[in-house]
């Protein structure tokens, strides 16, 4: 007579098992989220034409490649844990995706580092990881009113370079970004302080901002002209060489700076409330709009709204205003030495457009320098410590120093 073997009882779920499975689910979900985020960022960074991913990828991947690589590395470690303890196939997929994302991010960092070294930048990796905003001591030495428009005080933050007694420093008047209608001079405090620490005095200026009821196509250029004149008049007070004052700006500020500088050089812009200042020594445009009509037609990231606020309407409404405020209108022989800097992923100030503008200047015999930064979107200098920001500051410093020596 054989005895039936009693069935083996099913293992009971113990609290330890329940907690372990719950933790594994959390790890798998965390790894999945990291894999999705980092893969999306890298996809957009390498292929900007991809919808949505191509918007966030160049911004995050271009300014934070090492942060993305670190996050992807954490995701890869979590994926390996899932691989060993949970669904192996899913774990292998998570590990592969995050590892590839980490490698892709490190490649971006390496390419940007090589560009920084080529530009002569002394790269600070401490700033790369910690310098997300301007330095804590990036305050101007003084803030002065340079003009008053309809009761509105227009101010300049002065970052004064240290020079030997009796010495004179080159200077640059910088106009901030913001589509002609937003932001202010405080956005330039990191760049202003850094340039001053390296021998160039900076005047970061506010200008009249456009509103729906107040287009400023005929005011903002006069504001920059007034700021330039103020810098020339107060050169001795701030240790500035009046013959070496440049005019520049970022994005819309670059558009204004180039338009104002070229019109002054061509004699097509004159002050209405005092003497007309001398044209600036050189001109700087960081990711600038070179043709305001083109800004309206492209309609990328608010460029159409900016153009309409600035001019008071569409190109059909005010074709003469669009022509007057576009730097492309004033391309002639004899213009000042010019620096143009743009990111190769810029959607609004497109690199092909900016390089084409530089080629047009060169065809007129103008001494122009065009720098294209890799894996960089519009406003690539927003993150103070990023490799693109460090590189662009060095390029600007070298240009202003070289201009000053000529």
pLDDT top residue among 297 and 130: 297
Cα separation of 83 and 71, whole Å?
18
State residue 3's pLDDT score.
53
At residue 80, the pLDDT reads: 94
Residue 8: band (very low, low, confident or very high) from pLDDT cuts 50, 70, 90: low
Q: Are 74 and 66 in contact (CB under 8 A)?
A: no
**pLDDT band of 1, cuts 50, 70, 90:** very low
pLDDT of residue 20: 58
pLDDT at 85: 84
Task: Pick the range with the lowest mean pLDDT from 20-24, 286-290, 294-298, 346-350.
Answer: 20-24
**Long-range own/partner contacts, residues 123-131 (CB < 8 A, 24 or more apart):** 123/387, 123/390, 124/385, 124/390, 126/385, 127/384, 127/385, 127/390, 128/66, 128/385, 128/386, 128/387, 128/390, 129/66, 129/67, 129/385, 130/385, 131/383, 131/384, 131/385
Per-residue pLDDT band for 167 (boundaries 50, 70, 90) equals: confident
Q: What is the mean pLDDT of residues 318-335?
A: 96
Judge whether 125 and 385 are in contact, CB under 8 Å.
Answer: no
Question: What tokens does 219 get?
Answer: 């005011």
Res 190 pLDDT > 90: yes
The more confidently predicted of residues 143 and 3 is 143
Q: Which one is predicted more confidently, 164 or 356? A: 356
For residue 89, report the phi and psi dihedrals to the nearest 5 degrees: -65, -45
- Strands of the sheet containing 152-159, edge to edge, are 142-149, 152-159, 201-205, 169-175, 240-250, 282-286, 337-343, 368-373
Distance CA 10, CA 183 (A): 67
Helix (H) or strand (E) holding 143: strand 142-149
**pLDDT one-digit tens code per residue, 139-161:** 999 999 999 998 899 999 999 99
272 vs 46, residue with greater confidence: 46
Rg (CA), the chain: 27
The two three-digit tokens of residue 2, written as one number: 């054989």
Task: Answer yes or no: are the C-beta atoms of 391 and 118 closer than 8 Å.
Answer: no
H helices present in 60-124, as ranges: 62-63, 65-85, 88-118
Q: Sort residue 270 into left (φ over 0), alpha (ψ -120 to 50) or beta.
A: beta
Closest Cα partner for 32 from 86, 93, 100, 102? 93
Query: DSSP letters along 104-115, please?
Result: HHHHHHHHHHHH
* The predicted structure's pLDDT at residue 163: 85
Q: Supply 24's token pair.
A: 């594994």
Sequential DSSP letters for 281-339? SEEEEES--S-HHHHHHH--TTHHHHHHHHHTS-TTT-HHHHHHH-GGGG--TTPPEEE
- What contacts 48, CB < 8 A, 6 or more positions away? 54, 57, 58, 345, 347
Question: Alpha-carbon torsion 308, 349, 195, 337, what sign?
Answer: negative
Percentage of the chain lying above the pLDDT 70 cut: 94
Signed CA dihedral, 214, 218, 224, 227: sign only: negative
Report the percentage of the chain scoring pLDDT > 90.
Answer: 84
User: What distance lies between CA 194 and its chain's CA centroid?
Assistant: 16
Let me know: does 330 contact 262? Beta carbons within 8 Å. yes
Query: If 0-12 CB within 10 Å is exposed, 13-18 middle and 19+ buried, where does residue 11 land?
Result: exposed
Q: How confident is the model at residue 136 (pLDDT cuts 50, 70, 90)?
A: confident
How far, in Å, CA of 15 to CA of 254, rounded? 64
């Amino acid at each position: 007579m054989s005895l039936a073997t009693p069935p083996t009882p099913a293992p009971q779920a113990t609290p330890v098992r329940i907690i372990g499975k719950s933790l594994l689910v959390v790890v798998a979900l965390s790894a999945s989220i990291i894999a999705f985020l980092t893969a999306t960022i890298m996809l957009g960074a390498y292929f900007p034409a991809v919808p949505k991913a191509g918007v966030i990828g160049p911004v995050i991947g271009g300014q934070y490649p090492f942060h993305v690589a670190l996050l992807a590395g954490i995701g890869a470690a979590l994926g390996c844990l899932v691989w060993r303890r949970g669904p192996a196939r899913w774990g292998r997929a998570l590990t592969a995706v995050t590892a590839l994302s980490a490698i892709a991010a490190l490649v971006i960092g390496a390419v940007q580092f090589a560009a920084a070294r080529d530009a002569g930048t002394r790269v600070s990796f401490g700033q790369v990881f910690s310098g997300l905003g301007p330095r804590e001591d990036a305050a101007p030495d003084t803030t002065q009113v340079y003009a008053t428009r309809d009761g509105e005080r227009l101010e300049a933050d002065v970052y004064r370079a240290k020079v030997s007694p009796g010495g004179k420093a080159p200077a640059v008047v910088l106009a901030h970004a913001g589509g002609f209608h937003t932001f202010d001079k405080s956005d330039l405090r990191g760049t202003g302080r850094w340039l001053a620490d390296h021998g160039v005095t900076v005047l970061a200026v506010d200008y009249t901002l456009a509103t729906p009821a107040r287009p400023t196509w005929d005011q903002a250029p006069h504001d920059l002209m007034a700021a330039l004149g103020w810098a020339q008049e107060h050169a001795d007070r701030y240790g500035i060489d009046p013959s070496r004052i440049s005019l520049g700006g970022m994005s819309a500020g670059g558009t204004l700076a180039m338009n104002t500088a070229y019109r002054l050089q061509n004699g097509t812009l004159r002050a209405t409330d005092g003497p007309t200042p001398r044209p600036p020594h050189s001109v700087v445009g960081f990711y600038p709009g070179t043709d305001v009509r083109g800004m309206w037609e492209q309609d990328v990231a608010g460029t159409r709204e900016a153009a309409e606020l600035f001019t008071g309407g569409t190109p059909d409404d005010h074709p003469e205003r669009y022509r007057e405020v576009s730097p492309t209108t004033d391309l002639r022989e004899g213009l000042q030495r010019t620096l143009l800097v743009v990111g190769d992923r810029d959607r609004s100030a497109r690199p092909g457009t900016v390089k084409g503008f530089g080629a047009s200047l060169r065809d007129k015999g103008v001494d122009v320098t065009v720098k294209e930064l890799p894996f960089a979107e519009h406003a690539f200098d927003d993150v103070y410590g990023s490799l693109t920001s460090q590189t662009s500051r060095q390029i600007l410093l070298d240009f202003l120093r070289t201009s000053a020596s000529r």
